Chains A and B, each alone.
Chain A
Amino acid sequence: MAVSAFLTDATLCIGCKACEVACKEWNHIPADGFTFTANSYDNTNNLGASTWRHVLFLEQPTPLGPQVTGTEDPFRWIFLSDVCKHCANAGCLEACPTGAIIRTEVGSVYVQPDVCNGCGYCVVSCPFGVVDKNHEVGTAFKCTFCYDRQREGLMPACAKACPTQSIRFGEINDLRQQAQIRVEQLKQRGYSDARIYDPQETSVGGTHALFVILGEPEAYNFPPSPEVPTIHMKSAWSAALISALAVLLVVGLAFAL
């Protein structure tokens, strides 16, 4: 099967949250609780065990490209549907001690619910803060990339529900190319801060969920250079080794002297 991916475009999103609801409906995910956050129109806060698609609402004191508004100060309202990045080098997968997290034939990272033992290593290993434990069930959950739908030749529920093609689903190289074209097009139209978020240069090695965003990635809760925790293994083990040697040395010296 081809390696599939999402391309989520903030400049086409109208913040309708159809993706969020379609995801919950298809995957039978429970509600998060009825809490008013006063954070613009966002009341589900972030990705988690029971929110696998999450629409961000950013109110920023910056103009939106060439947009003309009657606001007294510069202003823009940006929406973006966030999702698990399905990293090329996935921190969660590498951390999973039971083999519950696997790489599927479509390139996605999948948590097998019947194998997961709820140790939670994946939760702390995700550089994007995506994987989360459901404390009632006791195991880890995140976007499945609608693995069940993809195996039947259907596109993920969120992409299917999106009315404005803000969420596109397809083959990863096609989408990477589309994202390039889109960003160039946006720049020509005056959206000078348009960019692709697809950290290929870091140890994550690129993601299967690409984003077209405006402005800095931090505003979208995207780390500017995410790293897989295992890259720290060498330095961590080296440090441990040096520490152990130092301790041995001190102990040895203590006896010797």
Chain B
Amino acid sequence: MPGLGTTFGRGGATTALPDLMNADAILIMGSNMAENHPVGFQWVMEAKERGAKIIHVDPRFSRTSAVADIWAPLRAGSDVVFLGGLVNYVLQNGKEFREYMVNYTNASIIIGKDFQDTEDLDGLFSGWDPERRSYDLRTWAYAHCGLDTREQQSGDGGHAKESGCITVSDLTTCVRDDTLQHPRCVYQILKRHFARYTPEMVESSCGVPKELFLTIADTFCSASGPEKTAAMCYALGWTQHSEGVQIIRTAAILQLLLGNIGRPGGGIMALRGHASIQGSTDIPTLYDILPGYLPMPKLGLNSRNLDAYLSKHRDKTGWWWNIDKYIVSLLKAYYGNAATKENEWGFGWLPRVTGDHSHQGYFLDMMDGKVEGLFVLGQNPAVAGPNSRLERKALTNLKWLVVRDLVEMETASFWYDSPEIERGEFRAEEIATEVFFLPAAGHAEKEGCFTNTQRLIQWHQKAVDPPGDARSEPWFMYHLGRRLKEKARLDPRPRNAGLNALTWDYSLIGKHNEPSVEEVLQEINGRVLPDGTLVSGFLELKADGTTSCGCWIYSGIFPAPGQNRANQREPRDFYGHGWAFSWPADRRVLYNRASARPDGKPWSERKRLIWWDEAQKKWTGLDVPDFTATKPPDYQPPARAEGDAALAGDRPFILHPDGLGWIWAPFGLADGPLPAHYEPLESPVRNPLYTQQTNPAAMPKQRADNQYADSPDERFPYVMTTYRLTEHHTSGAMSRTLSHLAELQPDPFCEISHELAAERRIQNGDWVTITSMRGIIEARALVTSRMQPLDIGGKRVQQVGVPYHWGYRGLVKGDIANDLIAISEEPNVRISEKKVLLCNVVAGRRAQGRQALEQLEKHIGGRLWQ
């Protein structure tokens, strides 16, 4: 998410799925779109029928590759080399869309002279602090732009808007060279930075033959320019890496160079992992942000009071100038009349971030006995979590565990039927964890909305009542909150002040007292206070406490009573206006100002989207302008202008303080202003580009119960990658329990090449045992040409594909692939590196019971943690 957020301003997909149909080429990488997004993939097939070239780059030949025009096998974890190779190809061959790049990106901005690149420091950027294991970002700043020295460490990263440092004087003083000749302009730095990412490097590091790479580079670049556009689609194959954010950054840089952002058929389609994942970051289940990507206050850093928070996060120029309106309106939505100017709208009642509260962080804390209780909703960490053996053991350290799900899945039953019981690692009667299993309603048994992968918020009705005691999440949350508030009401301790102040007054409907979710959506939309009139959009929000809004980017979704725009069902046009609601303000293609030239005319008739209508004096076209509708293209900001008014009429990236797309990220990222290739935490090779082997800022969380193999490691010679299949859903809790899905993929399997099968004497369909430093599992072998051995720097590298859908319950069962994976944290978003690790594969089933661990210990040549 910061990959896109830092580059463009928002962490959402820049385009809409139907718009892929307009593309002249589509690069699908880090995604198996046909299998995991088959419905959205119809637009890729449509594009193909219209003549677009579909390129799939992936470690495996999957169902996506089967229908692509080009498939290139790639060594898992070498994505930055491949994409950096494309960037280098563009720069060396003059393939960039120069007019777009010069006007709409920071390619021409000059960087301070103290900056040193990874080329100078052998894999580190200037500012690295080995003690704190983080960067001091002062040297990354634009030249002549004074930095706010109160905040120099980049270490916080995170999902929120990037932490502002540039002040208004920066924009007027920052130096540009539109000829791109200055040696310290972003363009020249970029060119030097990626100069060694050659086709030969791609061949020897990624395993993609040079000719094939050049075919891909030519196909993708030829489909870009004023008359053409090319799109990219990615999913968890890019995110789940120790440098995941920087992989996405490389792609985003490439799309900026080629002028493919904000234009029809262009963009980067971030394919989210499952239903409403986009929604659960917009209105977050993440610990470090508040709704609408407002940063969560962090203890000691910016949380003292609202002024301190705003002085850190409010940009003087660009759209985030309005952050005061959004945070105050949010606090008014939370605390209602109790939020007053005197108490800073209740800012003091917000919880503070005090450490690593991510999934990874709290499971390690749980393992160490620091967590008492856990609610698990919509997740199955006993199967889906990284190092899931550790996660299951951690659950035994809880005092209580509440699981809400459709069925009693592995996380609810770990205490009596997990592999650890069979292996005698723990015994049910010795586990003190009190487990509460509560039945949940399925999506057809409740109403509400999903926010899908393209930021589209779609309402769904209830089809049937949930059976028995099953209830919806809103019901559970509302009544839990109501009971907690009842307890807190009579308890005057200061810690209860926020809970007591919280508004909790939704209408209750039906025999089960379900809270009205339409009212929740209205609260999200926002109201004018005190009369409660619904606002028509975020432009109406104010910082003086006269408006409330639960999530500013969703504002406008419910502009009047009875007008639930998420429930619109009549599309008026190709982009689907009239069908549901796309945040923000129903804009379907973000940054669409960039679809027109600086003078406001479309780049080409074929690729027109929005344009300046001189007669009407406003932006018009096929989409809702992602721009101030009446700001003319030749607008120049007056001196000392603030907010959006400080951005000129040709600055499409309105959330950035300079209105530009960021090829260079002066701040906002914990691991560099530009992407650099680092090997995965476990790799079969040494980093061919720098002495620095792995992402210096990544957190491997290495400890006795979370060990790593060496890179390379004779014990674990193969690269393993995990993924999902069309037939199952994530941990399988919703698919292994349904016979019609379970029968389609009944057993866990691994996919291996003919060569690996011959090497290890494995026949198609045989049982095999797969081990890593963390665990041991068994699976059936599918021996197939779809897995190709790769030649990496003179070494033959085999890759093993393992889907992770199986567990110890359901109609079909099997070993848990995530037992093999380490808990690690990418430095910006703390995601674990699930897409690449080292493993070993041998023929035959694993030993049973306790002997399985002994088998693994024997292979490792040391003791395994118990």
Binding site for B on A (CB under 8 A): 12, 14-18, 20-21, 24-25, 30-38, 40-41, 43-44, 59, 61, 64, 66-73, 75-79, 163-165
Contacts and interface: CB of A to CB of B under 8 A. Distances in A.
Contact of B42 (A17, A69, A164): A164
B727 A68 contact: no
Interface string B96-120: 0000000000000000000000000
Interface string B483-503: 000000000000000000000
B41 A69 contact: no
B34 A14 contact: yes
Given A31-B739, A41-B745, A68-B70, A165 B765 contact: no
Contacts, number: 124
Given A20-B744, A36-B749, A72-B789, 16 more contacts: A12-B45, A14-B41, A15-B66, A16-B34, A36-B747, A36-B765, A37-B765, A40-B784, A41-B725, A44-B743, A59-B784, A69-B72, A70-B788, A77-B65, A78-B66, A163-B38
Given A31-B739, A163-B41, A14 B69 contact: no
A69 B726 contact: no
Contacts of A31: 739-740, 742-743
Most chain A CB neighbours (cut-off 10 Å) among B66, B209, B746: B66
A36 B746 contact: yes
A55 B322 CA distance: 54
Contacts of A32: 743
Contact of A43 (B42, B65, B744, B785): B744
Contacts of B212: 68, 70
A38 B70 CA distance: 26
A70 B785 contact: no
B658 to A, nearest CB: 41
A75 B785 contact: yes
Most chain B CB atoms below 10 A, which of A33, A41, A71, A79:
A41
A6 to B, nearest CB: 18
Contact of B66 (A24, A72, A79, A163): A79
Residue from the set A17, A20, A61 with the largest chain B CB neighbour count within 10 Å: A17
A17 B34 CA distance: 12
Contacts of A64: 66
Report the interface size class on chain B.
Answer: 35 or more
A16 B35 contact: yes
A165 B811 contact: no
Contacts of A36: 746-747, 749, 765, 780
A104 B69 CA distance: 42
Nearest to A51: B743
B61 interface: yes
B67 interface: yes
A165 B42 CA distance: 8
Nearest to B36: A16
A34 B789 CA distance: 31
Nearest to A50: B743
Contact of A34 (B64, B67, B743): B743
6 nearest CB pairs, A to B: A38-B765, A31-B739, A34-B746, A36-B747, A77-B66, A16-B38
A25 B61 CA distance: 30
B201 interface: no
Main secondary structure of the interface of A (DSSP, over half): loop
Nearest to B73: A70
Interface in B32-74: 34-35, 38-39, 41-42, 45, 61, 63-73
B37 to A, nearest CB: 10
Contacts of B67: 14
Contacts of A76: 66
B783 to A, nearest CB: 8
Given A17-B744, A59-B785, A66 B69 contact: yes
A76 B66 CA distance: 7
B208 interface: yes
A151 B72 CA distance: 47
B285 interface: no
B26 interface: no
A71 B743 contact: no
A38 B782 contact: yes
A237 to B, nearest CB: 44
A70 B209 contact: yes
B622 interface: no
A61 B785 CA distance: 9
Nearest to A189: B51
B608 to A, nearest CB: 28
Interface in B781-822: 781-782, 784-786, 788-789, 811-812
Interface string B261-294: 0000000000000000000000000000000000
